[in-house]
Amino acid sequence: MNPQANPITRWAQYLLIRAAGFLLSLGRLGSNLRLMETIGRLGYRVDGRRRRRILTNLRCAFPELTEDQREHIAVRSLGHFMKIVAEAAVTPRILHADTWPSHVAFDHMGETLKHLNAGKPAIVLTGHVGNWEMLGSINALMGYPIEALARPLDNPLINRWLMGVRERRGLRIITKFDATERMVEVLQQGGGLGFVADQNAGPKGVFVPFFNRLASTYKSIGLLAITQQVPVICGHARRVSTPFRPFHYEISTVDIIHPRDWANQPDPLFYVTARYTHAIETMVRRAPEQYLWMHRRWKSRPRWEEQGKPMPAAFEAKLRTLTWIDDAAIERLKTPSPPAD
């Protein structure tokens, strides 16, 4: 029996989350963030399975680093994630129309803001890097009509509360249960669609390079961009906090993929998916300690890798159409990935 189906379990989880949120709303934010960072560091020491997964991912992503350097990133990554949990509890209280400019700086946002201010449709995406929740809140507070795709949580009580937190500042949520028609409708009406676009897509996804390995990536973003002829804007909110400014982020655009960029590509879907995944990798390289290394991004493997066969020549040819991929990178991609945890 699924424990989530037990009403007692659901309520216990919900009350625990709400109680933690209430406690985190008390006191000084800086102190709470330091406390949550400490909890993350302790969790790294205690949870051996996640620790091993994180370090395995970091060894593949950064083979040039020492083990001590990778462990430093791993510990800080979990601390950063716990800070996001604390910030989510207080964001509705401290982030609103009058205060958000004091918590945010912008970098390389000129073209993005020009496009959004013109009321043109766009796909806006990020990865599990920096604070992806805050990114959505800031867009809503700035008045941009962006709707974000989100998977409903298994616990409906927590899901209802979290959706309320997200929508309190104007961010509208599309659930995966009613996604397709609504996503097309949003773009056709000149709105924006928001995605956190670095989840594992299973064996039927598009396999594209991501940190020295092929990663299964959802087709829907690329297909929407191509069929609706809208640009894909790739950006993130990177933590740039200081002891005197504990809740401060820099929002920046990393890449904008225009319809003209894929127009003459032999495989437009592969190109768009590979390019925005490359943009997410760029975000992570800027702040690797702010990435969610514990999720199973590389769980699914290409069929030829599962069968112990070499990379097909046709797929290698597609890789060579990507201008940011060189021969050395292709050779690394040919190496089978370590077993998924």
Q: How many domains does the chain have?
A: 1
Q: What is the CATH number of the domain that holds 195?
A: 3.40.1130
Residue-level pLDDT at 175: 76
Domain that holds residue 267: 98-334
Q: Compute the distance between CA of residue 132 and CA of residue 87 in angstroms, rounded to an integer.
A: 11
Q: Is residue 91 predicted with pLDDT exceeding 90? A: no
Q: pLDDT tens for residues 122-133?
A: 999 999 999 998
Please give the share of the chain, as a percent, with pLDDT higher than 70: 95
Question: Does 179 map to a domain?
Answer: yes
Residue-level pLDDT at 28: 83
Cβ count near 219 (within 10 Å): 15
Q: Is residue 251 predicted with pLDDT exceeding 50? A: yes
Question: Does 195 map to a domain?
Answer: yes
Please give the share of the chain, as a percent, with pLDDT higher than 90: 63
β-bridge pairing 206-210 and 172-175: unpaired
Give me 112's structure tokens.
Answer: 């993005």
Report the largest interatomic distance among the alpha carbons of the chain, rounded to a whole angstrom: 60
Q: Compute the distance between CA of residue 112 and CA of residue 4 in angstroms, rounded to an integer.
A: 41
Q: Is residue 255 predicted with pLDDT exceeding 90? A: yes
* Residue 269 banded pLDDT, cuts 50, 70, 90: very high
Give me 166's structure tokens.
Answer: 């997200």
Question: Does 91 map to a domain?
Answer: no
Q: Is residue 153 predicted with pLDDT exceeding 80? A: no
* Residue 169 banded pLDDT, cuts 50, 70, 90: low
Q: pLDDT tens for residues 306-322?
A: 999 999 999 999 999 99
3-state secondary structure labels for all residues of the chain: CCHHHCHHHHHHHHHHHHHHHHHHCCCCHHHHHHHHHHHHHHHHHHCHHHHHHHHHHHHHHCCCCCHHHHHHHHHHHHHHHHHHHHHHHHHHHHCCCCCHHHHEEEECCHHHHHHHHCCCCEEEEECCECCHHHHHHHHHHCCCCEEEEECCCCCHHHHHHHHHHHHCCCCEEEEHHHHHHHHHHHHHCCCEEEEECCCCCCCCCEEEEECCEEEEECCHHHHHHHHHCCCEEEEEEEECCECCECCCEEEEEEEEECHHHHCCCCCHHHHHHHHHHHHHHHHHHHCHHHECCCCCCCCCCCHHHHCCCCCCHHHHHHHCCCCCCCHHHHHHHHCCCCCCC
Question: Does 15 map to a domain?
Answer: no
CB 161 within 8 A of CB 17: yes
Residue-level pLDDT at 1: 41
* Residue 168 banded pLDDT, cuts 50, 70, 90: low
Q: Compute the distance between CA of residue 44 and CA of residue 77 in angstroms, rounded to an integer.
A: 9
Question: Does 17 map to a domain?
Answer: no
Question: Does 62 map to a domain?
Answer: no
Q: Compute the distance between CA of residue 115 and CA of residue 113 in angstroms, rounded to an integer.
A: 5
> What would the mean pLDDT of 144-164 be, rounded to a whole number?
78
Q: pLDDT tens for residues 190-241?
A: 999 999 999 999 999 999 999 999 999 999 999 999 999 999 999 999 999 8
Query: Closest Cα partner for 210 from 274, 130, 302?
Result: 274
pTM of the model as a whole? 0.92
Question: Does 277 map to a domain?
Answer: yes
Which residues share a beta bridge with 232?
Answer: 123, 257
CA dihedral 106, 113, 234, 284 (to 10 degrees): 0
CB 274 within 8 A of CB 215: no
* Residue 170 banded pLDDT, cuts 50, 70, 90: low
Question: Does 239 map to a domain?
Answer: yes
